[in-house]
Amino acid sequence: MTETIGKHVTHWINGKPSPSGEAQGDIHEPSTGRLAGKVDFAGRAEVDAAVAAAKAAFPAWRDASLAARAKVLFRFRELVNGHRDELARLISSEHGKVVSDAAGEVARGLDVVDFACGIPHLLKGGFSENVSTRVDAYSILQPLGVAAGITPFNFPAMVPMWMFPVAIACGNTFVLKPSEKDPSASVRLAELWAEAGLPDGVFNVVHGDKTAVDGLLHHPDVKAVSFVGSTPIARYIYETAARNGKRVQALGGAKNHMVVLPDADLDLAADAAVSAGFGSAGERCMAISVVVAVGPVGDALLDKIKERVARLRVGPGDHPDSDMGPLVTREHRDRVASYLDGGVAQGATLAVDGRLTPVLGDPAGGFWLGPTVLDHVTPEMDAYKDEIFGPVLSIVRTGSYEEAMELIGANPYGNGTAIFTNDGGAARRFQNEVEVGMVGINVPIPVPMAYYSFGGWKDSLFGDSHAHGMEGVHFYTRTKAVTARWLDPSHGGVNLGFPTGG
Ligand code: NAD
């Protein structure tokens, strides 16, 4: 039996809530399994209304001075900062992650707002005097128009904040389609934008599923699409949006390997593997899901990992003693749990069985699975090949550094990776050779700061722009190159030759 708590989450269009109500989705509370409420799903009419509002708001926002835009961003920054706890609790209640972790994602999202507050500096073009006699050339960066963002469940605040602060700072208007599983944070952020003085229509939110997404991908007034989610959907978004003439960046799934060399500090490596494997119940695109133990370190490393896992406390996200919360939905928990028996059937060893982990509080009905360690995993097994996206850490043993590199090189994903070693030469060689977009050296989750850009390689990213940082500014602007000559009596008259400097 499910009990409805009764929240109703709806779209945010043109500066106000905009209920639709025809189609709706369920919002669950992962720690109890209860139905927490309903979220309206957008159809064609709601998508059209949001894009129309964004299109109408564009000319004035594009023409707002850089100082005026930066002032709104600074106010938004203060408001989000002031509501950090409230946002974290909201995220935790719908996603399941512990409140401190949710506060961390708000903080990392705020880093991007900080970056975007510097927009007057970031939008400076170039200027060259006298490219020809008394002719100057310069470049200007202009916004695109309406940009859309489509985001995953696992970071309901941070991932949208990789996108919209930069897009809006650059002078675009924005339509966000957040995950339908935890939609409330995006609406709260929209309210804070309004309180910060952002003009109506500059930031809009439509909720929903494939129907809403397809509406955005096919809408002629959407000029750019930023996506973050799983690889099959990222590929679909990239192909569909590009076919419709849009600029697109689509960040996909991951399988992040952490290589531990024989000379590594094994306590540091075990701390890192457990933190990066089980933080947010492994539902992070930068989670470590494969530990690659090189040479003789496997057994000692496994013992240290097991000691640490035994101390982790699993419970509701708002329980003060919880280190790790539940998974996001029952279906996802069941899918993740299927890799335990599946892994053993294919020859892995279940070194820690998360189904046996005690749960704090009243666990009945929640979507629980404790931290799990599968040892002796090999590349043919499904537990290795698939992105599990849950608290299952696989250990693969290799005989050499070269074998570890072959493993990573053959993997279709290339989001994040890490090496643990005390050998600077080995670390340098790794950073140079590895075919992965984000690399950690004795750092397990190498998420770039906001002023660098976030993105993987291979099947972890479709498109050529990574998120935020200067690549974000590049993605949300078009460059115009101007060549100017002011009237001068000494011009050379008619000349049919190709213009060159001189
Ligand atoms: P998902 O791909 O199922 O959903 C992402 C978004 O796409 C959601 O808004 C969803 O409503 C929409 N969507 C789902 N199915 C669709 C379809 N058939 N057509 C059109 N739109 C559709 O991903 P998720 O389960 O919400 O998030 C987890 C995934 O996101 C993992 O694979 C994880 O690795 C990935 N992720 C990647 C990064 C990164 O930076 N590379 C960051 C966070 C999460």
9-20 per-position pLDDT tens digit: 999 999 999 998
Angle among Cα 485, 486, 491 to the nearest 5 degrees reads 70
* Euclidean distance between CA atoms 115 and 121, whole angstroms: 10
Q: Evaluate if residue 43 carries a pLDDT over 70.
A: yes
Residue 177 CA, closest ligand 1 atom number: 9
502: pLDDT confidence band, cut at 50, 70 and 90? low
208 CA closest ligand 1 atom index: 11
- Answer yes or no: is the C-beta of 213 below 6 A from any ligand 1 atom: yes
Please write the tens of the pLDDT for every residue from 57-72.
999 999 999 999 999 9
- Ligand 1 neighbourhood includes 210 CB (under 6 angstroms): yes
pLDDT beyond 90 at 307? yes
How far does residue 152's CA lie from ligand 1's centre (Å)? 4
pLDDT above 50: residue 283: yes
- Band (pLDDT 50/70/90 cuts) for residue 487 is confident
Residue of 57, 185, 205, 285 with catalytic role: 285
Residue-wise pLDDT for 462-482, tens only, equals: 999 999 999 999 999 999 999
**Which atom of ligand 1 has the smallest separation from the CA of 467?**
40
82-100 pLDDT tens trace: 999 999 999 999 999 999 9
What residues contact 350, with CB distance under 8 A and at least 6 apart?
A: 340, 343, 344, 372, 373, 374, 375
Does residue 105 have its Cβ closer than 6 Å to ligand 1? no
Answer yes or no: is pLDDT of 3 > 50.
Answer: no
| Contacts of 364 by beta carbon, 8 Å cutoff, 6+ apart | 32, 33
Q: Give the pLDDT band of residue 177 (cuts 50, 70, 90).
A: very high
**Residue 229 CA: which ligand 1 atom is closest?**
30
Q: Is the pLDDT of residue 190 over 90?
A: yes
ipTM computed for the complex: 0.98
Q: In this predicted structure, what is the pLDDT of residue 499?
A: 83
150 close to ligand 1 (CB < 6 Angstrom): yes
Cβ–Cβ < 8 Å for 149, 176: yes
Query: Which pTM was predicted?
Result: 0.97
Is any atom of ligand 1 closer than 6 Å to the C-beta of 302? no
Q: Which atom of ligand 1 is nearest to the CA of 179?
A: 9
Cα of 154 vs centre of ligand 1, distance in Å, is: 9
By DSSP bridging, strand 372-375 and strand 392-398 are parallel
pLDDT higher than 70, residue 490: no
Domains in the chain: ranges and CATH: 7-252+460-482 (3.40.605.10), 256-441 (3.40.309.10)
Q: Is the CB of 312 under 6 A from ligand 1?
A: no
**Ligand 1: does its nearest atom lie under 6 Å from the Cβ of 151?**
yes
Range with lowest mean pLDDT among 114-123, 467-476, 489-498: 489-498
Secondary structure of residue 16 in the 3-state scheme:
strand
Is 285 among the catalytic positions? yes
In the chain, the percentage of residues whose pLDDT exceeds 90 is 94
How many whole angstroms separate alpha carbon 12 and alpha carbon 26? Answer: 18
Question: Three-state SS string across 52-120, please?
Answer: HHHHHHHHHHHHCCHHHHHHHHHHHHHHHHHCHHHHHHHHHHHHCCCHHHHHHHHHHHHHHHHHHHCHH
* pLDDT (0 to 100) of residue 4: 47
Residue 109 is predicted with a pLDDT of 98
Mutation test residue for ligand 1: of 41, 225, 233, the one with most atoms within 8 Å of CB: 233
Q: Taking 90 as the threshold, does the pLDDT of residue 501 lie above it? A: no
Q: Mean pLDDT throughout 269-273?
A: 98
User: Which of 11, 91, 179 for a ligand 1 pocket mutation test, highest count of atoms within 8 Å of Cβ?
Assistant: 179
pLDDT digits (tens, 9 = 90+) for 337-387: 999 999 999 999 999 999 999 999 988 999 999 999 999 999 999 999 999
